[in-house]
Structure 1
Amino acid sequence: MLLRKQTLSEAARRKFAIFRDPFDEPQQASEVFLSRASRVVREAMWQTAIGNTNFLAVVGESGAGKSTLREELAERLRAESRPVVLIAPYVLGMEENDKKGRCLRSDHIAEAILHAVAGGDTPKRSPEARFRQLHEALIASSRMGMQHLLVIEEAHGLALPTLKHLKRFLELKDGMRRLISVLLLGQPELREKLDERRAAVREVAQRCQIVTLPPLDASLGDYLAHRFASAGLDLAAIVEPTAVDALMQALTITQRHGSGPGDTQVISLTHPLVANNLLTAAINQAASLGAPRVTAELVRAVRESMP
């Protein structure tokens, strides 16, 4: 579930003296909230970037914070002056087949690698010559001390043949030294595509480490406090503590999938983007009603009114 995008009203900004939206995208690394679970994912991404892991897939729901961690990774690499070349093919309009959109193919990935590693070189016209050119460019860059990280966002939209071809990129070596690592970021459908029971991608799935970026859950309050503090705001001055608990409850759903007493499933929707939208709507409603702070009752009422 993703609630409709909410923005702070002018009335809410005036009433609560909000000059900067606490839910704007982070502008620097210190503004990125890291829970214990997201730190594990962050470290897995870092190990892939510096070449200690060859193939990693980060799976999370839309709005879970995958792109934010990817941006923080790039910022961290720059801050620490790490010799890592980030290669990010454009995925605009990418779909798993050409009927829905445009497939990202291995030759597109090859062009992206060449542009990042040897931007001044014109890609060869034939596939054979282009891939040889790619291999030679990676070897030359590697011998200059550079690591190479291929990052593909929205990877759940990759075609199965392209997923399979990623193994070929991973096999590019200079002697025994691997020349490139691969980081995939995608929604839960990516995990399904990387199921090793699928014959088409078995070779890839068996080589890919998969980590999940979970909901905030018990870290929701700390996340909100961090985001408000980053915007120069005091969460408690705008949102009552019981309202944070109500927010957690509103974003936790129990579903039945059978008739037995144990046939229930608890689903947490406490992803950053979902929590941001619900709390923003509650703040707007508090300003509209003239309430001094967002209350638990107000959160529940707003949640019931949203689709």
Structure 2
Amino acid sequence: MYLEHFGLSELPFGITPDTSYTVITRSHQEALNTLLVAIGSGEGFIKITGEVGTGKTLLCRRLLQAMPENAVSAYLPNPYLSPRTLLLALAEELALAVSTDVDDYHLLKQINRALLEHAAAERRVVLCIDEAQAMPLETLESLRLLSNLETEKRKLMQIILLGQPELDAKLSEPSIRQLLQRIAFHYKLTGLDHQEVGKYLEHRLRVAGYRGEGIFQPRTVRALHRASRGTPRLLNILAHKSLLAAYGEGLHAVKPVHVKRAAADTEGASSPGWW
């Protein structure tokens, strides 16, 4: 691989979310601020949407790290669940010892009791649901009913939905219109702008151990921005393939032609013919 060639200690452009490589972009920081304000205000539902690869899972991980000390977090990365399985998953996240054959009434009662205990101890319970666009309609409705659990002062649990734009279409279904009306805070993640792309590339290279200069020149950064449209996951794939192309030619700087080759070989990238 190209690690020794470029003086790297590890691959700088992996596609697995890694908070050690986090670059604070405007969109991500605004989204995180929205989440923290919503949690602080005690609102029931919060929604974050963004296209594939814009960093929703990474945002969720940043949020879990930035939670207030009095917060208890529950995280569901795969919400393609039936209503009952959702309750069981929530109970597991809350560390409740429940039998899998317990009936729905007593299962909900145990969850409600646990939430009341957290509220009495002045702890906030925050449920983060990633890939929420995959949640069946009947499960979304079950989630709305679950949000009815409250004291006279506040909701017993706050629910954060993170998903692709298809989530908005799903929430517009007449059968779950009441849930849409309960979303008090929402934010749409966008891609990186041209300046952010340059800082993003440089930061990830530094974290990966690079101590030189000029792997990605300004023209190359512009080419990567055009090809990826600022989408972080796509940018990582293109940067990785571009480094491979430069390494294959024995070069220590990536040129726009390497980006064009990478884009031609990558699904979802802007076609070189568009530049």
Same fold (TM over 0.5): yes
Q: CA deviation at 1:278?
A: 0.6
Q: What SS is found at the alignment partner of 2:72?
A: strand
Query: What's the counterpart of residue 244 of structure 2?
Result: 284
For the Cα contact (< 8 Å) 1:170–1:180, is it kept in 2?
yes
Of 63-72 and 213-222, more deviation after overlay is shown by 213-222
Of 66-75 and 16-25, more deviation after overlay is shown by 16-25
- 1:295 paired with 2:255, answer yes
Query: What's the counterpart of residue 210 of structure 1?
Result: 186
Q: CA deviation at 1:279?
A: 1.1
Q: Which amino acid aligns with 2:203?
A: H
Cα deviation code 1:205-263 (max 9, x no counterpart): 11123311111123211211222222232574322221001111223xxxxxxxxxxxx
Q: Which runs of 5+ in 1 are unaligned?
A: 1-9, 95-103, 252-268
CA distance in 1 between partners of 2:147 and 2:266 (Å):
46
CA distance in 1 between partners of 2:128 and 2:252 (Å):
45
Q: Which runs of 5+ in 2 are unaligned?
A: 268-275
- 1:62 paired with 2:38, answer no
Query: What's the counterpart of residue 246 of structure 1?
Result: 223
Q: Which amino acid aligns with 1:18?
A: L
Cα deviation code 1:60-105 (max 9, x no counterpart): 122111111111111223xx6x12111124627x3xxxxxxxxx12
Q: CA deviation at 1:155?
A: 0.7
Aligned to 1:85, which of 52, 59, 72?
72
For the Cα contact (< 8 Å) 2:77–2:131, is it kept in 1?
no
Q: Which amino acid aligns with 2:242?
A: A
For the Cα contact (< 8 Å) 1:85–1:149, is it kept in 2?
yes
Query: What's the counterpart of residue 183 of structure 1?
Result: 160
CA distance in 2 between partners of 1:118 and 1:289 (Å):
54
Q: Which TM-score applies when normalising by structure 1?
A: 0.78
Q: CA deviation at 1:127?
A: 1.6
Q: What SS is found at the alignment partner of 1:178?
A: coil
CA distance in 1 between partners of 2:65 and 2:115 (Å):
23
- 1:237 paired with 2:214, answer yes
1:248-263 superposed matches below 5 A: 248-251=225-228
CA distance in 2 between partners of 1:113 and 1:47 (Å):
24
Aligned to 1:200, which of 175, 186, 197?
175
- 1:13 paired with 2:39, answer no
Does the C-alpha gap of structure 1 residues 51 and 132 become closer, same or farther in structure 2, counting only changes over 3 Å?
Answer: farther
CA distance in 2 between partners of 1:32 and 1:306 (Å):
23
Q: Percent of aligned positions with the same letter in both sequences?
A: 25
Q: CA deviation at 1:151?
A: 1.3
1:210-229 superposed matches below 5 A: 210-218=186-194, 219-229=196-206
Does the C-alpha gap of structure 1 residues 235 and 153 become closer, same or farther in structure 2, counting only changes over 3 Å?
Answer: farther
Q: Which TM-score applies when normalising by structure 2?
A: 0.87
Q: What SS is found at the alignment partner of 2:91?
A: helix
Q: Which amino acid aligns with 2:75?
A: A
CA distance in 2 between partners of 1:53 and 1:216 (Å):
29
Query: What's the counterpart of residue 266 of structure 1?
Result: none
CA distance in 2 between partners of 1:235 and 1:191 (Å):
44
1:7-156 superposed matches below 5 A: 10=1, 12-24=2-14, 25=16, 27-28=18-19, 31-50=21-40, 52-77=42-67, 82-89=69-76, 91=78, 94=80, 104-122=81-99, 125-156=102-133
CA distance in 1 between partners of 2:199 and 2:42 (Å):
31
Q: What SS is found at the alignment partner of 2:214?
A: helix
Q: What SS is found at the alignment partner of 1:53?
A: coil
Q: CA RMSD in A?
A: 2.2
Q: CA deviation at 1:182?
A: 0.4
Q: What SS is found at the alignment partner of 1:150?
A: strand
Does the C-alpha gap of structure 1 residues 241 and 22 become closer, same or farther in structure 2, counting only changes over 3 Å?
Answer: same
Cα deviation code 1:28-61 (max 9, x no counterpart): 55x3112111111111222344453321111112
Does the C-alpha gap of structure 1 residues 141 and 26 become closer, same or farther in structure 2, counting only changes over 3 Å?
Answer: same
> Aligned residues, how many?
264
Q: CA deviation at 1:121?
A: 5.0
CA distance in 2 between partners of 1:188 and 1:27 (Å):
23
Does the C-alpha gap of structure 1 residues 273 and 90 become closer, same or farther in structure 2, counting only changes over 3 Å?
Answer: closer
